[in-house]
Amino acid sequence: MFAFIIRRALQAIGVLFAVGIISFAMFRFAGDPVNQIVSLDTPAAEREQVRRSLGLDDPVPLQFVHYLAKAAQGDFGVSYQFRQPVADLLAERMPATLELALCATLFATGFGVLMGVYSGLKRDSLLAKVFQTVSLVGISLPTFLIGILLIYLFSVTLGWLPSYGRGDTVKIGWWSTGLLTLSGLKALIMPSITLGLFQMTLIMRIVRAEMLEVLRTDYIKFARARGLTTRAIHFGHALKNTLVPVITIVGLQFGSVIAFAIITETVFQWPGMGLLFVQAVQNVDIPIMAAYLMLVALIFVAINLAVDILYTIVDPRLRTSIRQPA
């Protein structure tokens, strides 16, 4: 098992290295780093001097090493649009994105498991069929349309929920949270639903399939023979065993949730990293794009690694079969 984790960790470093190369290539070749420092009317000679002082005349591999070393210390250069260090901009917006992603995941897991269990237990009922249809529509509709639909219903027509922004936030150290104020919580509802809907349908389908599978197994029949109550069988025995794949999916999807937050944040003008990234793409702000890519890669790789390790702990069967890697 130890060898397995080491191998996965090495793979993770490989991925990060590859992303680092791409990020560096963007930073160095697609955008001109000199333009970050100088203004439009700077004379050519002065530009040349800046170029030299930035080390842009060094051999490219050496520049790459410098870039990685700086990135490891959290220095991603200066944004073209904001004239501020990219790391500060990202750090300022990270809490908003993480809180949104967390709430979306909680929503998706809670409702996904509930709906999945229900449609697994009563798969011919009308409500279960409604769930199935909703999940098909949920997968087909683009995220931004769902968000717009929610805004039209709950903000424009009913006027219950705010249509943009985070509401009031409270500062805890450098972390600004919207979870402690009423307006902050209200502002979280629609973006979380929009972002979590796809994951919810995914979890619902998995839980339903797993429930159907588990209910056919011998130990459930044995539990029935022992005369346990239906409630104890369904929730004590069956549900517990469906949760292993759910944990994996929730973990692996968390990275996607952060990436898809780009769309949700734009629809709701949510001041997070995703909105910053979209503005960077619109305005060709390469340093922000490169840094965002590195950051997302780091989050993805860390989560994948954590899920792999968790999996070997949760499911003992894997510990023995791991010697033959899949």
Partner 1 sequence: MAEAIQAAPAPQAQPTTWAGRFLDSDIWASFKRSKLTMVAAFVTFLFMAAAVLAGLAPQDPFDPAQLDLLNSRLPPLWDAEGQAPFLLGTDEQGRDIFSAILYGLRISLAVGFLGVAFSATLGIALGLIAGYVGGTTDAIIMRVADVQLTFPAILIALLVDGVVKSVLGGQLDGMTTLSVLVFSIGLSFWVQYARTVRGSVMVEKNKDYIAAAKLIGLPAPVIMFRHVLPNVLGPVLVIATINLALAIITEATLSFLGTGMPETMPSLGTLIRIGNNYLFSGEWWIIAFPGVALALLVLAINLLGDWLRDALNPKLR
Q: Give the interface with partner 1 as residue ranges (CB under 8 A).
A: 14-15, 18-19, 26, 30-31, 136-137, 139-145, 148-149, 151-152, 156, 163, 255-256, 259-260, 262-263, 266, 277-278, 280-282, 284, 286, 289, 293, 296-297, 300-301, 304
Place of tokens 């005349």: 57
| Rounded least distance, CB 94 to partner 1, Å | 17
Q: Would you call 172 exposed, middle or buried from its count of C-beta atoms within 10 A (0-12, 13-18, 19+)?
A: exposed
Q: Which is nearer to partner 1, 96 or 150 (CB)?
A: 150
Contact yes or no for 233/220 (Cβ under 8 A): yes
| Rounded least distance, CB 126 to partner 1, Å | 18
Q: Which is nearer to partner 1, 233 or 261 (CB)?
A: 261
Please report, in angstroms and rounded to a whole number, the separation of the first and last CA atoms in the chain.
14
Q: Under 8 Å CB-to-CB from 278, ≥6 apart: which residues?
A: 262, 265, 266
| Rounded least distance, CB 237 to partner 1, Å | 31
| Rounded least distance, CB 179 to partner 1, Å | 26
The C-alpha atoms of residue 289 and residue 281 are separated, in whole angstroms, by: 7
| Rounded least distance, CB 49 to partner 1, Å | 24
What are phi and psi for residue 322, nearest 5 degrees?
A: -70, -20
Q: Which is nearer to partner 1, 202 or 263 (CB)?
A: 263
Name which of 124, 315, 122 is nearest 234 in CA terms. 122
Q: Which is nearer to partner 1, 233 or 273 (CB)?
A: 273
| Rounded least distance, CB 26 to partner 1, Å | 6
Rg of the chain over CA atoms, in angstroms? 24
Between the alpha carbon of residue 153 and those of residues 111, 186, 235, the distances in Å are 21, 15, 36
Q: Which is nearer to partner 1, 118 or 260 (CB)?
A: 260
